[in-house]
Amino acid sequence: MWHLYEDVLGDQWRSLIYRKTVNKLRSLPYKVTSVEQIREMYGVGKSLVKMVKEILGTGQLQKLDNLKAQVGEIQVLGSVWGIGAIQARELYKKGFRTVKDLENYSSLTSMQRMGVKYYDDINLRIPRDEVVDTEKFVRGVVETLAPGAWVNAAGSYRRGKPTCGDVDILITHPDGSSHQDLLARLVQELRRIEFIVDGLRVDANARKGGTQPDMFMGIFHFQCKAYRRIDIKVYPRHVYAFALLAFTGNDVLNRKIRFLARVKFGYKLSDQGLFIRESKKKDSKASTESIPCETEREIFEKLGLDYPEPHDRNW
């Protein structure tokens, strides 16, 4: 109960009470076989005596079973695309118990609505072969819109995983300019041919000259398989290596090398570059111009690290 309250329910106060109690019971020099042994202990209240009695008598604790069921329901709510752990708890408090309960809830974001609508399908893993076909298909469509563009499926697929949670597509154009407005045209075309069935677009390239990606996050349907999640990001060529590294992951590797970049060199590493910070402190100001790197290998060299192949990035 200590861990469930702390990790899932975010109830630090109850968690602390259970932790103290558990530690107290554990520190006893004997195994508790009767409530009489603890009744007089300092800090042992009626409710604890009752719980210990139940455990000694039945080998179980109803309160714990109830809590586990509650935690299970919160975790399911939190597994909807776009709903985080904190919001899942809030939704539970509001009375939502299942994903179906959320179907007619008007306060969901459009991402969360997609998450609910396609919940069953998008929680299925995608076989690798299907990602191969999807990448090839999208590459074909991109080629008709911006010949010569680079299209890479990144994420777990690029790390060689046999199945993937979604398809992560990264795009750039080596001429340094044809990537602009490409995402809008691509999404329009993928919708027209009914490959993309739902989603949101965030275009940042409108802020001219920036390195922020144009992004699409949505749902596609291909070869009559399940509805799948797809992210598409378009970056300018000069930051593509940073984007490919960040979007390949995994997330643990990203955190580790970003941390190392800061504490070892005072660099800020992101999906958009490698910047020099004013100091090694976490929030210190970073330069606006990135240290140029053409390839992922160059980024690892700048960080004084051996280059790991993508399939060695499953930390």
| Footprint (CB under 5 A) of Mg ion, residues 110-139 | none
Contact status: 249 vs Mg ion (CB under 5 A): no
> Of 155, 236, 273, 310, which lies in the binding site for Mg ion, with binding defined by CB under 5 A?
155
Q: For Mg ion, what does the binding mask look like between residues 156 and 175, x meaning CB under 5 A?
A: x---------x-x-------
Nearer to ligand DCT, 251 or 289 (CB): 251
Helix (H) or strand (E) holding 48: helix 46-58
Output phi, psi for 49, to 5 deg: -55, -40
Question: If you ran DSSP here, which 8-state letter would residue 310 be given?
Answer: G
Angle at 152 between CA 148 and CA 157, to 5 degrees: 160
Site stretch for Mg ion (CB under 5 A), options 149-157, 199-207, 217-225, 286-294: 149-157
- Among ligand DCT, Mg ion, none, what does residue 250 contact (CB within 5–8 Å per kind)? ligand DCT
Which stretches of the chain bind ligand DCT, using CB under 6 A? 155-156, 164-166, 168, 247, 249-251, 254
Spatial distance between the Cα atoms of 113 and 110, rounded to a whole number of angstroms: 5
Least distance in angstroms from the C-beta of 164 to Mg ion: 6
What is the four-CA torsion angle of 255, 258, 259, 260, rounded to 10 degrees? 120
Surface-to-core class of residue 66, CB atoms within 10 Å of its CB (0-12 exposed, 13-18 middle, 19+ buried): exposed
Nearer to Mg ion, 155 or 310 (CB): 155
Nearer to ligand DCT, 37 or 250 (CB): 250
Nearer to ligand DCT, 22 or 124 (CB): 124
Question: In the structure encoding, which two tokens stand for residue 33, read together?
Answer: 């076989």
Least distance in angstroms from the C-beta of 249 to ligand DCT: 3
Alpha-carbon torsion (302, 303, 305, 307), positive or negative: negative
Least distance in angstroms from the C-beta of 218 to Mg ion: 14
* Closest-CA residue to 222 (of 145, 126, 157): 126
Residues that bind Mg ion (CB under 5 A): 155-156, 166, 168
